[in-house]
Structure 1
Amino acid sequence: MRPLRSRWIMVALTNLMAGYLRLTYATLRWTHEDRSRAEKVWADSLASNSGAILALWHSRVPVGPTAWPQGPDKPQIRVLVSQSRDGEFIARVIAKLGLPSIRGSSLKKTDTAKNKGGEQAFRDMVKWVRDGGAMAITPDGPRGPVEDLQKGAVALARVTGAPVLFVGIAMRPCIRLDTWDRTIIPLPFARAAMVWDGPATAGRDDDPDALAPAWGARLSAVSRRAEAIVGERQAVPAP
């Protein structure tokens, strides 16, 4: 996004988007399904000072903060955000919403020579989760393929032993951006749904090649369920 190359435009858009999202979140009319799954993970994490992992598809980034409201009854959460200019915008917006980020991108399968902070970001995430924090990831981001869960999510779960929660979020009406993943922008007073699955765990002996598609299917399933609740037609094709 070329406008984001300007410092002043970046600041203005960040303030505008953060303010819009904060006000819009307060007006959404929610239906929650299987929230008890998340509540149990939150409680267990606090009781044992152990971490947790939240997975949602990249298209839900603008409404992701609604999945983990801040408060003493939940572990603190950080968000993995790419080091791109678009990622800088996202990081600034969610920071204004009270969510700090860890910056980095996964290695591209087609270009292993470029490491956009992925290795350091992974180490930072492992330390944060092992210290009892929660980590939010979009396992098909930042460039897709759409709803194709990459093995980095499985690797984080295997190394830390933390439980993984899958959350599907949908709302109607909403704006769908003309991006690779048809990103959702919420509209005020929209009907919204949040559906949970999990927790899932991964041991060091588990096969990432088998877990990744299985977990991706679960994340897509809760996303389709949330869309069905609000009556939104599926806008993102299956991988």
Structure 2
Amino acid sequence: MRPLRSPWVMSLLVNLMSGYLALTYLTLRWTREGQQIATDVQARALAGRSGVILALWHSRVPVGPATWPQGADKPEIRVLVSQSRDGEFIARVIARLGLPSIRGSSLKKTDTAKNKGGEQAFRDMVKWVKDGGAMAITPDGPRGPVEVLQKGAVALARVSGAPVLFVGVAMKPCLRLGTWDRTIIPLPFARAAMVWDGPATAGRDDDPDALAEAWGERLSAVSRRAETLVGEMDGAPPPSS
């Protein structure tokens, strides 16, 4: 986003967006399914120093902070955010909402760790989760394809040994941006739904491709279920290019 190149504009937009989201969260009318799944995993994480990985699709980033209540009775959470300029905006907004980030992106063959910080981010996430923290990831971000779970999520679960929770979030009415993933922006007093599935684990002998496909299907399933609960029937992702 070109306006984000200006530090002054960046600061203004961060203040506006974080303030808007904080107030909007207070007005959402939630329906929750499977909440006990998350509660049980949170309790085990606190009792056994075993962290947890939270997965939601990239299009749900603006409502991500509402999926993990903060408090002394909850594992502390960090969010993986890319090192792009858009990522900087997201990181500043969610920090205002109480969620610190780990910065980095999934490495591809043409990337370097110096530019993307992917290798260091992965090490930081593994350490955080092994120490008992919670890690939120958007496994189809930051560049897609939309709702295609990348193997980095499987690798994090395998190396850390932490369980993965899948959370689908939807709301109606909402705004959908013209981005690659049709990011949703909540509107005040909207009907909202949060649906949980899991926990899932990755063994060292499991096929990462098969797990990525299966986990992606589970994450899309809870997303579609959340959309059904609020009556949003057009929430399916656009075709991948």
Using the size of structure 1 for normalisation, the TM-score is: 0.97
What are the equivalent positions in structure 2 for 1:1-239 lying under 5 Å apart? 1-108=1-108, 111-112=110-111, 116-232=116-232, 233-237=234-238
Distance 1:124 1:96 in 2: 21
Identity between Structure 1 and Structure 2 (%): 81
Distance 1:45 1:238 in 2: 37
The DSSP-based 3-state class of the residue aligned with 1:83 is: coil
Distance 2:94 2:236 in 1: 25
The DSSP-based 3-state class of the residue aligned with 2:116 is: coil
Using the size of structure 2 for normalisation, the TM-score is: 0.96
Distance 1:55 1:199 in 2: 11
Q: What are the superposed Cα offsets for residues 136-193 of structure 1, whole Å, 9 maximum, x if unpaired?
A: 0000000100000000000000001100000000000000000000000000000000
Distance 2:239 2:218 in 1: 13
Please list every run of 5 or more consecutive structure 2 residues that lacks an aligned counterpart in the other structure: none
Distance 1:113 1:77 in 2: 27
Contact 2:224-2:236 at 8 Å conserved across structures: no
Query: How large is the RMSD of aligned CA atoms in angstroms?
Result: 1.1
1:127 is matched by which residue type in structure 2?
K
Q: What are the superposed Cα offsets for residues 209-230 of structure 1, whole Å, 9 maximum, x if unpaired?
A: 1100000000000000000000
The DSSP-based 3-state class of the residue aligned with 1:196 is: strand
Distance 1:229 1:174 in 2: 14
The runs of at least 4 consecutive aligned structure 1 residues that moved more than 2 Å come to: 111-115
Contact 1:147-1:238 at 8 Å conserved across structures: no
Distance 1:238 1:2 in 2: 26
Please list every run of 5 or more consecutive structure 1 residues that lacks an aligned counterpart in the other structure: none
